Amino acid sequence: MNHSIGDGTAYWSFFNTFSEIFQNGATNLHPISHPPIHNKWFPQGYGPIINLPFKHHDEFIRSHESPILRERIFHFSAESIAKLKAKANEESKTTKISSFQSLSALVWRSVTRVRQLSLDKKTSCKMAINNRTRMEPSLPKEYFGNSIYAVSTETTVGELLENDLGWAAWKIHQTIANYDDKIVRGSLNQWLQSPIVFRMDMMVDPYTVLMGSSPRFNMYGNEFGMGKALAVRSGYANKFNGKITSYPGLEGGGSIDLEVCLAPDIMMALENDNEFMSSTSVFNLLF
């Protein structure tokens, strides 16, 4: 399914629904438990057709040359995630920082450190946020389409590295906590007034880490007659230096797998970064 049709929430709902249909069997005609909602939402005064300010497709379609990258899956056990969360909250003297915010802070600091950037450069940790629950009134969970936005936590390289994990995690937490209906609608209205077609080079730079997907998606509960999946991967498309894709760990319980894409020299440096690697573990599929 192309990303122009739906976001991760829509995709996994689609996938989970097909699994549910299969498991119900051909003779068991139960209605699906979460039917998709196809009524498209638009801000007041807009839709369903939006005119784009282009006269030719060359104005917004550009070829993308994929850089040379290395990709690796890093596994974080539930125990390791719990330790990161406890550390981040203790250092920030709070209890509000989530597990994924703590893990994102670790990745952001570690990748930024091994990139060896100038201390005065701006660096950012971008995260894909589901707009459905942020809006007032909220959109249904079953809303099928794209309803996400990339929020950005920003600071200088020097400030990020001179402070601890808790400081970075708290900045990420504040960005996410402050993302509300007003910001969602403001971002949409800004785009509607000056529409653009997003390209890869507009979203990333050498100083960015982008956390995509979600470990909350039901990826391993699907069944199509061949047994449960042993791994989930994202393929080759839309990869760049600093793209991080998150999955639930196969063993569940709050474990997380991160699919990390970096330039080869940066990946090698990350694999030798003690703070980062000490939080990872090897998951044995046989046990």
Q: Which pLDDT score, from 0 to 100, does residue 48 have? A: 85
Q: If residue 106 lies in a helix (H) or strand (E), which one and from where to where?
A: helix 99-115
CA distance 264 to 150: 26
User: Looking at the domain assignment, is residue 74 inside a domain?
Assistant: yes
- The Cα 49–Cα 44 span in angstroms is 13
Q: Number of structural domains, the chain?
A: 1
State the pLDDT at residue 26: 72
How far apart, in whole angstroms, are the C-alpha atoms of residue 135 and residue 259? 30
Asked if residue 166 belongs to a domain, the reply is yes
Give the rounded percent of residues in the chain with a pLDDT score beyond 70.
98
For the segment 257-262, the average pLDDT, to the nearest whole number, is 97
Evaluate whether residue 31 is within a structural domain.
Answer: yes
- Cβ–Cβ under 8 Å, residues 245 and 258: yes
State both tokens at 266: 């940066």
Residue 181: is its pLDDT beyond 90? Answer: yes
* Residue with more model confidence, 199 or 20: 20
> Which domain covers residue 255, as residue numbers?
8-44+69-277
Instruction: For residues 106-125, give the mean pLDDT.
Output: 98
pLDDT class for 274, splitting at 50, 70, 90? very high
Q: How many CB atoms lie within 10 A of CB 7?
A: 21
Amino acid 147: pLDDT: 95
* 141 in any annotated domain: yes
Q: Are 259 and 287 in contact (CB under 8 A)?
A: no
What local confidence, expressed as pLDDT, does residue 286 receive? 42
Q: Is residue 49, in this structure, part of any structural domain at all? A: no
Strand 148-156's sheet: what is its strand order?
70-76, 256-262, 243-248, 208-213, 122-130, 148-156
Assess contact for 106 and 279: CB atoms under 8 A: yes
Going by pLDDT thresholds of 50, 70 and 90, the confidence category of residue 200 is confident
Overall average pLDDT of the 138-154 stretch: 96
CATH of the domain at 233: 3.30.559.10
Map residue 75 onto helix, strand or coil: strand
Residue 58 falls inside a structural domain: no
Residue 27 has pLDDT above 80, yes or no: no
Evaluate whether residue 55 is within a structural domain.
Answer: no
Which positions ≥6 away from 115 have C-beta within 8 Å?
206, 207, 266, 269
Instruction: Name the pLDDT band for 20 (thresholds 50, 70, 90).
Output: very high
**134, 181 contact by CB (below 8 A):** yes
- Judged against a pLDDT cut of 90, whether residue 64 lies above it is answered with no
> Cα separation of 77 and 279, whole Å?
8
pLDDT tens per residue, range 147-168: 999 999 999 999 999 999 999 9
Tell me: the pLDDT tens digits for 206-252? Answer: 899 999 999 999 999 999 999 989 999 998 888 999 999 999 999 99
- pLDDT confidence band for 287 (50 / 70 / 90): very low
Is 266 within 8 Å of 62 (Cβ atoms)?
Answer: no
Q: What phi, psi does 2 have (nearest 5°)?
A: -70, 145
Q: Does residue 37 sit within a domain? A: yes
CA dihedral for 153, 157, 162, 164, sign (positive or negative): positive
Average pLDDT taken over every residue of the chain: 93
Whether pLDDT at 271 is above 70: yes
For range 110-124, the mean pLDDT: 98
pTM over 0.75: yes
pLDDT of 98 reads 98
Residue 238 is predicted with a pLDDT of 84
